Structures are given as C-alpha cells and as structure tokens.
Amino acid sequence: MRTVLLTKPRLPAWLARIRQRSRLIAPVPDADGVLDWREVEDPAQVVLPPGAPELPLKKVFFPPSETMLRYAYRGDRAAVTDTPPALEPFVVFGVRPCDALAQRIADLVFLGDLPDPYYQARRQAATIISVNCTEALPECFCASLNNALTEAPGSDLLLTPLNGDYLVEALTAKGEALLAETADDPTAASEADLARKAEVAAQTAAQQTRQIDVEGLTELVRAAYHDEEFWKKQAEACVGCGVCTFLCPTCTCFDVRDDAVSGRGLRFRCWDTCQFADFSKEASGHDPRAQQWQRQRNRICHKFWYSVDRCGVISCVGCGRCLRGCAGHSDIAAAIENLRARAREEKPVTADE
Amino acid sequence: MPNQTDQLRETCKRLLESGEVKKVIGYREGRAPYHVSPHFAETPEECDALVLTPFCTQNLVRYLRGLKPEDGKVAVVVKGCDARAVNALIAEHQLTREQVYLIGVPCQGLVDVDKLAKRVNLAQVQEVRVEGAQVVVRTAEGEQPFPAQDLLEDCCLVCEYPNPLVHDQMLGFEVAPRNPEGVDAELERIEAMSPEERQEYFRRAFSRCIRCYACVRTCPLCYCTTCFAQQNKPQWLPRSVGTDENEMFQLGRAMHLAGRCVQCGGCDRVCPVNLPLRLLNAKMAREIREAFAHVSGLDAEKPPPLATFDSQDRDIAEGNNYDR
C-alpha cells in the first residue's frame, strides 16, 4: 500500500479532483453554521472541528429516515416498488478515526448473515478518507478502547497532519485506487514521516483525560445486572431522550413503519432508540423495560456485554458524543468507573471523580 | 461570610437531618467544571458534592415529574427561571407548593459552553465566575475577564426575572435583572424578517431536527406522559424525519408551550443540531403577553390563558369574531 506526503496547501486541489470524479461528502456547515455530513460543492466549505463532529458518520449510511418501498393496492393485490439507494460511488472526507471504526462495528449488525441492502449499497459505494486527530476534546477516550488513532480501521485512506504536510496512507485497495487516480505527483513518505505520525497519535492520546479500563469489563457489567439500586443511581439524571443513542456512531436501532392513505403508501424506517418509552413495549401492553433506569442499563449492557457476546467487540469507540450531548452530562466512562467501584464492594460513587 | 456553595450544603444537610425533606435535588460537578450534572442527595454526606456554578444549567424542576404526595417533601435548587417553572406547574395542578422546599438562588446568568469554547481552550478552564457585567475565567495561566455579553447564554442575556419569585429560603442577595425592559434583539431580528425569510430560516432549522426529543424530555413544562409527536394510537404525526414532519412537531410543541414556557433555555441548550428553540418559544411568549397580558410562572394561581375560557376575555368582550 502506498504512503505519500501531501503538502497542506494542496489539499483543496486534491479534494476538487476527487469531486470531479464522484460525489464528495464531508462536514459542511449550513447557513446557520451547523455542521452535518453534506455534499461538498467547494472544498473551502469543509470544516474539521477538533474531535468528532456532533453528528455521527452513520448518518451517511443509515439516514435518520429512509423510504424502503412504495406500494399501491389494486383490488386485493399490491404493486410494490422497491427503492434501493443509488449506487454511484462517492467519497466521504474528514471522517475521524473513531467514526470509521464505529462504521466497521455497525457493519457487523447490518452486513451479517442477512445483509441489509440499503445499508450495503451505500457502504459498497463509499470510499472513506479519515483525518487523524491532533487535538482531543475533554470528552474523548478512544485511546483507552481501541487502535483508531494509530491504525484507523474502517478507513480506506488515512491523513495525519504533520506540520506542513499530510501523511496519506492507503489502507485498502479502494483507498489505493482513489489515491492513484487523484493524487497529483505526491512525494513518497519516509520512515521518519511514519515515526512522526506515531508521535502525533501518541500526543493526541496523551491529551485524553478519560479512560475506560476494558480489562474484564464484560464480566463486570454482567455481574452488576441485577443490582437495581446501582442502575437507578446511574440513571437518576436521565431524562429519557434519544441524544446518547442517536449521536452514538455504533447505535443501529430503527423502527419500520408505514405511511399510507387509501391503499397507497410507503414503508420507511427511522432511527429508534432503547431510551424511548415505547421501544420495548409489547402488543400486550407489557414493557420489559418500563423504567428509564432499565433503559440506561440496557444501553451500557449492550455496549459492553451484548455486543461482545454477539459480535465479539465492545460497541463503544470513545468518541464522547453521548457525554457531550447529554442534558444531564451523564458520563459513560464514569459509569464504568462506578461499576469497578461497585465490584470492589465500595459504595457506588456518585461524583465522577 | 460563608460562600454560596457552603451555605447550600449546610442548608441541605440541615433539611435532610431534620427530616423536613426526603431528598435534595441540586447540582454536582463532573470531571470538568462545565460538566455539571443534576445531583440527588438523600443523606447529609451526599450533600458535600453539591455545587453552585455558572454551569448549573439544568432546570431541576423537570425532575419533580411524577412526584407523589406520599414521596414526601423534596428540596430543589431553583434559579429565577426554575422558580417560575414551579409556579407554572402549580398553576396547572401538576404540583403543590407543599411538596417542595425551594432553595432560591439569585442568578447572574449561565455561561454558554459553546461561546466559552470559542474564546478559551476548554481543557484549561479551572473556574468560571459571573461578576456583574463580566465573566471571569480562571485557567492555569491566571484569570481573564470577558464581557458577560460574549459568554452568557442567550436566554440569560434577555432574562427579566433572575431572582426566584417563589422560595422557602434564598441563598445570597437579589441581583439586578440584565434585561428589565424585556428587549430581545434576536427576537427583533426574526420579527423584522419578511414572512418568507422567516419561514426559510425556521424550515432550514427544522430540516436539521433528528427527532431525538431532547427538547421535550428536558422541558419542565412538557410533562405529557406521551408527547403527541410520539403517540401511536392515534398517530398524529409520522415518525419519519423530514422537514415537514419536523416542522409540525416543533410548531406543535411551540403551540403547546405558548403562555407556559418559562424561558429557561433548556430545549435550546440541549438540541444537538442547534435549532433556535429559544427564539421560537420567546416569540410565542411575546404573542401571549401582548394578547393576554400573561407571563408564565409569575403567579401560581393563574392558569395559562390558552388552557382557560373566560367570557371576559378581551376578544370576546370586545365582540371580536374571527369568523366574520
């Protein structure tokens, strides 16, 4: 795989060449200055804030709402039109390594035994260009959980800022092809450049003040499952909105519904969350997770236990969005510390320290 | 003289020790000074974590939802806007005055973390104080003053009622309102737009909504068991996320809050996609104030105008008939 240097002033021209070749999606502000994953018209529009942008990359592959099929009844027979997404290749630029890894984790859900065609079509069409972090937000804790900062799994290309240059690493054949087709006479990178990249990653990791100690974590969560008082305390400030899960790059739950009038309609899916009151409510009226503390417990158990059992991975990448977005500033890293404190048979701590 | 935080902790300990209240709802600091969470203390020891800082943003009155008379009395820390929420809830029979012990905190305004992040490196911030017209930020390098105008939350810059109008005990002295005349430049800007411009502005915002319902769930006055936007049977609104559906949801919510919203800014603050919810609700509040001379939360005896029928209403008394 190729590893090259691109001087920083040449980045816009490179993005412009990519845009000539295919659609380019990146964090772009709207007229109110709010960032989202939007189509890039001009590379100058792209904004890369420190840390992961507020809205997760999953939105590109798994939109908050999408039509799956349309139908129209004629008599007792329905004509069904499938609406799979368009398949033209596109490039996503400005992805943070935590988000790229999170997409890999989401793949385990969407592309398992029964691949989801809507998601799959977008994933196959996309080439992901990640840009490494040089500045951690106080809410970031990826370094304690995974190798996103150093290996950037899930990225096709990884850019790491090194003073005046970007070190550009092709990590997949897709990335290699994009680089070959669009790079304009790049300089080959040296061993020294790779060493500088390792330094940048180490410096970013060192800025992170939150950590999650993963040692024996699944067992720790499992052991606390029945401790109702513990979970009630953890969820006391939870208001029951969908912020933590909607902003989570690995949360993949959705609802499927119909919107129909007079035998004509469409079937769509939209984001749903285990935090909403009707999420686990059954047709009988029974709700196995009727209380908000049970829903918060489910979230933690899913990230650190159910995901590990089912997919073999912890489904938290340390982006910190759940803490940044939470009305009550509920801190998932603190929740894990509280679990450890509980396991040491200490009183569960209420403060984050 | 003991500082406000010490005074607060002492008060809460006394309330719990004497058995006057069963629980105290206040604030505690997380790992960073600007990560302040609601804190629920049921023992005197737990009161040691209580803090009062300009980052105590949450309207804690929201956490009184579902409080039953048999749960006993609960002490709540209330700023000016929060105390108004208590009045509004009492006026709507969601709470009785006897259920709560209100620890009033005159409020100089809350610091907007996004505004702060534009001016200082958040990771370096050790303490922030609001001192009248300025906000003092302390980092390892020392203290730096900023004009309050630059750092306070929008809802605080236009606040007319910073002192709790209802309380059992007040911590500290009353403060002067920042905006006694009720001037709201942002609202003027919206009102000055043509209807088309205004629609474009709000529809662009609504197009961003991801329907996480953080606005609803944070709001002390949104106490419906199930929000109309999330109701299944009947379904008033599709769950699909799109500008039209989002607009119906947000305008529906604004109508439900007209004359009830206390302008605490909770919805605006928690929105992950920066919808101008404060402005929307401020506009509704102004309409209600002009039409009915009603300001939510000033009087626990006065129900919201849109929830009442009065044959002496100005419209009816003056014979106005919109069908005409």
Q: What angle do CA B241, B247, B248 make, to 5 degrees?
A: 95
Q: Which of B127, B152, B177 is the last residue of a domain?
A: B152
Which stretches within B78-231 are classed as H helix? 80-91, 113-119, 148-151, 154-157, 185-192, 195-208, 214-218
Residue A64 and residue A167: Cα distance in Å, rounded?
Answer: 34
Residue A258 and residue B267: Cα distance in Å, rounded?
Answer: 29
Q: What angle do CA B209, B252, B89 make, to 5 degrees?
A: 110
Question: By the 8 A CB rule, do B24 and B15 touch?
Answer: yes
- Residue A105 is predicted with a pLDDT of 98
The answer to whether residue A66 sits within a structural domain is no
The answer to whether residue A9 sits within a structural domain is yes
B214–A325: do the CB atoms touch at under 8 Å? yes
- Looking at the fold, whether A338 and A199 belong to one and the same domain comes out as no
Query: What DSSP line would sit under B241-276, residue for residue?
Result: -SHHHHHHHHHHHHHHHTTT-----HHHHH-TT---
Residue A25 bridge partners (DSSP)? A39, A92
- Looking at the fold, whether B122 and B164 belong to one and the same domain comes out as no
- Looking at the fold, whether A148 and A261 belong to one and the same domain comes out as no
Residue B183 and residue B48: Cα distance in Å, rounded?
Answer: 39
Q: Which of A207, A227, A260 is the last residue of a domain?
A: A207
- Residue B32 is predicted with a pLDDT of 87
End-to-end distance of chain A based on CA atoms, in angstroms? 44
Contacts 24+ apart (CB under 8 A), B171-174: B171/B4, B171/B7, B171/B8, B171/B11, B171/B52, B171/B103, B171/B104, B171/B105, B171/B106, B172/B4, B172/B7, B172/B105, B172/B106, B173/B106, B174/B106
- Residue A82 is predicted with a pLDDT of 85
The answer to whether residue A11 sits within a structural domain is yes
ipTM for this prediction: 0.93
Q: How many residues does chain A have?
A: 353
Residue of A nearest to B265 (CA): A327
- Looking at the fold, whether A123 and A189 belong to one and the same domain comes out as yes
Residue of A nearest to B225 (CA): A277
Question: By the 8 A CB rule, do A204 and A134 touch?
Answer: yes
Reported as a single tens digit per residue, the pLDDT across B242-281 is 999 999 999 999 999 999 999 999 999 999 999 999 999 9
- Looking at the fold, whether A52 and A158 belong to one and the same domain comes out as yes
Buried b (16+ CB within 10 A) or exposed e, A62-84: bbbbbbeebeeeeeeeeeeeeee
The answer to whether residue B321 sits within a structural domain is no
Give which of B83, B36, B44 is closest to B64, Cα–Cα: B83
Q: Write down the residue that tokens 């899930």 correspond to.
A: A154
- Looking at the fold, whether B136 and B246 belong to one and the same domain comes out as no
Angstrom distances, CA of residue A127 to CA of A36, A250, B42, B60: 18, 19, 53, 45
Residue B245 neighbours by CB distance under 10 Å: 20
B9 touches chain A (CB under 8 A): no
The answer to whether residue B318 sits within a structural domain is no
- Looking at the fold, whether A339 and A193 belong to one and the same domain comes out as no
- Looking at the fold, whether A29 and A126 belong to one and the same domain comes out as yes
Split into its structural domains, chain A has a count of 2
The answer to whether residue A289 sits within a structural domain is yes
The answer to whether residue A75 sits within a structural domain is no
What CATH number is associated with residue B137?
Answer: 3.10.450
Which stretches within chain A are classed as H helix? 11-21, 58-61, 97-110, 117-125, 148-151, 173-182, 191-207, 217-224, 228-234, 243-246, 292-301, 307-311, 321-325, 332-343
- Residue B315 is predicted with a pLDDT of 65
φ, ψ at A301 (rounded to 5°): -65, -40
- Looking at the fold, whether B128 and B219 belong to one and the same domain comes out as no
Residue B44 and residue B41: Cα distance in Å, rounded?
Answer: 7
Question: By the 8 A CB rule, do A270 and A64 touch?
Answer: yes
- Looking at the fold, whether A36 and A172 belong to one and the same domain comes out as yes
B217–A36: do the CB atoms touch at under 8 Å? no
- Residue B1 is predicted with a pLDDT of 46
Q: Which of B120, B137, B152 is the last residue of a domain?
A: B152
**Three-state secondary structure call for residue B232:** coil
Give which of A350, A245, A178, A208 is closest to A255, Cα–Cα: A245
- Residue A353 is predicted with a pLDDT of 41
pLDDT band of B201, cuts 50, 70, 90: very high
- Looking at the fold, whether B142 and B245 belong to one and the same domain comes out as no
B212–A241: do the CB atoms touch at under 8 Å? yes
Residue B185 neighbours by CB distance under 10 Å: 9
One digit per residue, the tens of pLDDT, for chain A of length 353 reads 889 999 999 999 999 999 999 999 999 999 999 999 999 999 999 999 999 999 999 999 999 999 999 999 998 899 999 877 777 999 999 999 999 999 999 999 999 999 999 999 999 999 999 999 999 998 999 999 999 999 999 999 999 999 889 999 999 999 999 999 998 777 899 999 999 999 999 999 999 989 999 999 999 999 999 999 999 999 999 999 999 999 999 999 999 999 888 889 999 999 999 999 999 999 999 999 999 999 999 999 999 999 999 999 999 999 999 999 999 999 999 999 999 999 987 555 554 44
Question: By the 8 A CB rule, do A132 and A159 touch?
Answer: yes
CA of A185, closest CA in chain B: separation in Å?
A: 37
- Looking at the fold, whether B144 and B29 belong to one and the same domain comes out as no
Choose the weakest-confidence range: B38-47, B121-130, B196-205, B308-317: B308-317
**Three-state secondary structure call for residue A200:** helix
Q: Which residue range forms the structural domain that includes residue A26?
A: 3-56+84-207
- Looking at the fold, whether B49 and B157 belong to one and the same domain comes out as yes
- Looking at the fold, whether A336 and A223 belong to one and the same domain comes out as yes
Q: What angle do CA B108, B112, B118 make, to 5 degrees?
A: 130
Which of A34, A325, A330 is closest, CB to CB, to B37? A330
Q: What residues of chain B lie within 8 A of the CB of A207, using their CB?
A: 123
Q: Which residue range forms the structural domain that includes residue B143?
A: 111-152
Q: Given strand A126-131, what is the order of strands in its sheet? A: A35-39, A23-29, A90-95, A126-131, A157-162, A165-170, A3-7, A187-188
A329–B230: do the CB atoms touch at under 8 Å? no
Residue A280 has, within 13 A of its CA and on its CB side, a CA count of 13
Q: Write down the residue that tokens 């412009």 correspond to.
A: A16
Which of B218, B230, B241 is closest, CB to CB, to A327? B218
Query: What DSSP line would sit under B113-135, residue for residue?
Result: HHHHHHHS-GGGEEEEEEETTEE
Q: Which of B88, B123, B152 is the last residue of a domain?
A: B152
The answer to whether residue B281 sits within a structural domain is yes
Question: By the 8 A CB rule, do A152 and A130 touch?
Answer: yes
Give which of A66, A116, A124 is closest to A90, Cα–Cα: A124
The answer to whether residue A69 sits within a structural domain is no
- Looking at the fold, whether B122 and B60 belong to one and the same domain comes out as no
Residue B88 and residue B271: Cα distance in Å, rounded?
Answer: 23
Q: Is the pLDDT of residue B19 over 90?
A: yes
- Looking at the fold, whether A126 and A258 belong to one and the same domain comes out as no
Q: State mean pLDDT over B99-107.
A: 97
- Looking at the fold, whether B229 and B296 belong to one and the same domain comes out as yes
- Looking at the fold, whether B41 and B138 belong to one and the same domain comes out as no
- Residue B321 is predicted with a pLDDT of 53
Candidates B46, B189, B240, B246: best to mutate against A (most CBs of A within 10 A) is B240
Question: By the 8 A CB rule, do B103 and B78 touch?
Answer: yes
B218–A334: do the CB atoms touch at under 8 Å? no
- Looking at the fold, whether A120 and A232 belong to one and the same domain comes out as no
Angle between helix B195-208 and helix B243-257 axes, rounded to 10 deg: 110
- Looking at the fold, whether B91 and B121 belong to one and the same domain comes out as no
A352–B273: do the CB atoms touch at under 8 Å? no
Q: Which of A176, A207, A238 is the last residue of a domain?
A: A207
- Looking at the fold, whether A194 and A173 belong to one and the same domain comes out as yes
The answer to whether residue A62 sits within a structural domain is no
Which of B58, B216, B232 is closest, CB to CB, to A328? B58
- Looking at the fold, whether A339 and A295 belong to one and the same domain comes out as yes
- Looking at the fold, whether B264 and B126 belong to one and the same domain comes out as no
The answer to whether residue B324 sits within a structural domain is no
Split into its structural domains, chain B has a count of 2
B31–A240: do the CB atoms touch at under 8 Å? no
Q: Which of A181, A207, A233 is the last residue of a domain?
A: A207
Quick check: bond before A288 cis, omega within 30? no
- Residue B311 is predicted with a pLDDT of 75
- Residue A345 is predicted with a pLDDT of 72
- Looking at the fold, whether B300 and B158 belong to one and the same domain comes out as yes
- Residue B31 is predicted with a pLDDT of 84
The answer to whether residue A79 sits within a structural domain is no
A327–B58: do the CB atoms touch at under 8 Å? yes
Residue A270 bridge partners (DSSP)? A65, A255
Give which of B38, B95, B101 is closest to A239, Cα–Cα: B38
- Report percent pLDDT > 70 for chain B: 96
Dihedral sign of CA atoms B206, B208, B210, B213 in order: negative
